[in-house]
Amino acid sequence: MSKKPTIVDLFSGCGGFGLGAELAGFHTVVAVDIDPTLQSAYKKNFPNTRTITQDVSLIRKDDWELALANTEIDGVIGGPPCQGYSRMGLCNPKDPRRTLLKEFFRQVNMIDPKFFVMENVEGLLDKKNRPQLEDAMSIIDEKFEVLPPQIVDASEWGAPTKRKRVIVVGFNPLKISPVDLIDFVPPKITTSVRDAISDFKEPIPQSEDKVDLGWNGYRRLKNISEYAQKMRRLPAPDLGDAFAKKQLLLGKSSGHFDTVHHQAVIERFFNTPQGKTDVKSRAKKLHWEGLCPTLRAGTGSDKGSFSSVRPIHPSKGRVISVREGARLQGFPDWFVFHPTKWHSFRMIGNSVSPIVSEGILGVLYHATLAARIKKSA
């Protein structure tokens, strides 16, 4: 009974979904992603997870048998690339990434877990995309009971960001205690931008050191929000980069490099009212008492290397830093990303909020343990 339930993390990115699984009580055995840059963060933050850098669609059943080495897998989680379904993009029906939705369920059938959770953008439920979702789900093995797709909003789970996503949960009722939609009702905890980032010092100048992650300390405040206190805590011994944990003990976290703006941009950003959008950059200025809008990822080098538009700080004439973005998405301060702001925001914008992941997978963790207890009784 002491052994942790196990997870396979598909389309893992930097590990937002996987982090939530770990915080819920699971251990991620294998994480798969095609992008080595995104996976570089996974390797640092999850030293006890095997990472496989590969196209998921090329993995076959015998590959899983070799990779898992007879390890029983309790759950499979994953967020197939969403750009082909996103309302913010072209939503091109010929985008090859759209086929990876069906690939997720094919992999589930091969791994044969006790449950699975698939995450994607809200646009997946749009009328023009719904047939492809239904087609993908049609291949799910009949042993799984599949709940209707549901929309989850990160802000209702306690994250300080408005981020709506679709999740599909399926489970084998012979292997875990049954769950239903009512089990996934969010706690509706409200966390503001002030709660999330007001304890940070101003960003520091970009270093010439190509591997420097931008370490900086915290402001000295009389009152620190419960959310910020939680984000500052050290992880469990089996999680996190050793150097990052040492830095956190010294009161420092990574991701604090500044973004250089022209003086005219600084003034324009500074004069933009909180909660409003800058007319030229189309960047939204955060409101201290509000929520962060959905953080976007930008594109990788294969898609033009475009950086996403970042929100403007509530009271400064600048865009937010990587660490501020991480806090707003729900990542703890020990979690490290990439030396560049571009790749770091790709990691954050592509990720499932760990807070949402922990909440969803917490339900399935208890369902898994309940079945274990019943079996051993």
Residues with a catalytic annotation lie at: 82
Burial 340-358 (b: 16+ CB within 10 A, else e): bbbbbbbbbbbbbbbbbbb
Contacts of 66 by beta carbon, 8 Å cutoff, 6+ apart: none
Distance CA 196, CA 326 (A): 10
Element (H, E) at 2: none
Gap between the Cα atoms of 99 and 104, Å rounded: 9
Count the Cβ atoms, other than its own, within 10 Å of residue 149: 17
| Alpha-carbon 65 to chain mean position | 27
Nearest to residue 202, comparing CAs of 212, 192, 221, 217?
A: 217
Cβ(330)–Cβ(159) below 8 Å: yes
CB within 8 A of 50, min separation 6: which ones?
29, 30, 31, 67
Euclidean distance between CA atoms 336 and 227, whole angstroms: 18
Cα separation values, 332 from 9, 66, 103, 326, 335, Å? 19, 33, 31, 7, 6
Around Cβ 72, how many Cβ atoms within 10 Å? Answer: 13
Please give the Cα distance from 297 to 255 (Å, whole number).
16
* 295 touches 350 (CB < 8 A): no
Amino acid at position 245, single letter: K
Distance CA 250, CA 254 (A): 12
75: helix, coil or strand?
strand
The residue among 167, 191, 151, 122 whose CA lies nearest residue 330 is: 191
